[in-house]
Structure 1
Amino acid sequence: MSLHKDPELKSAVLNLSQKEKDKLLIRLIGKDKMLLKQLHYQLLENEYDLENRIEDLKAKLENLLQDTRQKVSNTPIFSNYKTINNLLRQASGLINEHEKVTKDKFSTAECRLYILTQPYRMYPKLYEASHLQVAEKLHKYINARIKTTLNNIAALHEDLQFDLQENVSLVEEIKERLDLVKS
């Protein structure tokens, strides 16, 4: 149930004493980990902390890709497609959390471009046509991520778009390649 759908409850909460409201607020915050992270970021961190968060996220993404190098080869086989798909989903989850907490559009776009371009550079054969269903699933997922990422980048200021242009061009090339594979 939502508070705005129950005006009586909303009114009752607003009529509580400040001390009671504070107790309820602290209890509610403790039950939602994402809200806790968002509040910590908004209330206790500054632009230097944002830079640290961005560097930490980039390091995590890089480590994920490095760990995958030992498990995946540039050979179009079932396990390689499956591992790359899992990697991209895990990396995307890290980026989603970063975006929800910081609301920083540029670093989010930059990291999304990174996870779209690096596997392509490392495993180009996995982006070729294949009869395996898992390959099609990976290609569909990548295409969806590309579409979303390019839309988010288009919403950025043109100076910021310019800073990302090299990787945007590569992502557009990946999209064209996957579109050809689909046909």
Structure 2
Amino acid sequence: MSLHKDPELKEAVLQLPPKEKDKLLVRLISKDKMLMKQLHYQLLENEDDLGDRIVALRQKLQDLLEPSHSGIKNVAMYSNYRSLTALLRQASGMITEHEKITKDKFSEVEFRLLILALAFEHYPILFQKSYVSISDKLHRYVATRIQSTRNKYDKLHEDLQFDLRDLFDKVETFASEHPQLA
């Protein structure tokens, strides 16, 4: 039940003594890991920490999609399509968590473009037309990610778009050469 739907409870909570409210707040926060991460970032970190977070996440994403690390081969096989789809979903989850914590739209778009560009660079065979049925699932997922990233990119200020133009163009060019990603 939402606190907004029970105004009596909301008023009672607001009337609690500060010490009791603090204890209750700390107990509630500890139950929500995302809220804890958001509060940690907002209250204890600064711009330098955002830069460190961006560098660390960029390295994690590059390592995650590296063929020697992922074990995925650039060969049109069922397991490779399935593994790459799972890997892209995992990377997307890491980016979503980063954005929810930092609220940094620029780095979110940069990372979404980065994982697409890395996937296209490392696994181009898996994005060609294929008769392996699971390839459609990967292609639909990537097409959706491209469209979503394109929309987020378009919402950025033109100066920020300029900073990401090369990466954006790289992704758009690859996608335009592969009609199944449209």
Q: Normalising by the residue count of structure 1, what TM-score does the alignment of the two structures yield? A: 0.94
Could you tell me whether the CA contact under 8 Å between 2:81 and 2:135 is conserved in 1?
A: yes
| Number of the residue aligned with 2:180 | 181
RMSD: 1.5
Partner of 2:54: 54
Per-residue Cα deviation, 1:76-122 (whole angstroms, up to 9, x for no partner)? 11111111111101101110110000001111111110100111011
Unaligned runs of 5+ in 1: none
The question of whether the paired residues in 2 share the 8 Å contact of 1:129 and 1:182 is answered with no
Paired position in structure 1 for 2:28:
28
SS in structure 2 at match of 1:164: helix
Give 2:162's aligned amino acid.
F
Q: Is the 8 A contact 1:76 1:130 kept in 2?
A: yes
What amino acid sits opposite 2:27 in the alignment? R
**1:67 to partner: Cα distance:** 5.6
Q: Which runs of 4+ in 1 moved over 6 A?
A: none
Aligned residue pairs total 182
1:148-159 matched pairs, under 5 angstroms: 148-159=148-159
Kept in 2, the 8 Å contact 1:113–1:171? The answer is yes
Residue 172 (structure 1) shift:
1.6
State the shift of 1:181 in Å: 2.9
Q: How does 1:21-170 map to 2 (within 5 A)?
A: 21-66=21-66, 71-170=71-170
Aligned 8 A contact 1:78 1:132 in 2:
yes
Q: 1:86 to 1:182 in 2, by over 3 A?
A: closer
Q: TM-score w.r.t. structure 2 length? A: 0.95
The amino acid that maps onto 1:6 is D
Q: Could you tell me whether the CA contact under 8 Å between 1:117 and 1:170 is conserved in 2? A: yes
Task: Name the CA distance, whole Å, in 2 between partners of 1:182 and 1:107.
Answer: 23
Indicate the SS of the match to 2:76: coil
1:9 & 1:68 partners in 2: Cα distance? 55
Cα offset, 1:176, TM superposition: 2.4
What whole-Å deviation, never above 9, does each CA across 1:95-154 have from its counterpart, x for those lacking one?
011000000111111111010011101111111111122100000000111111111111
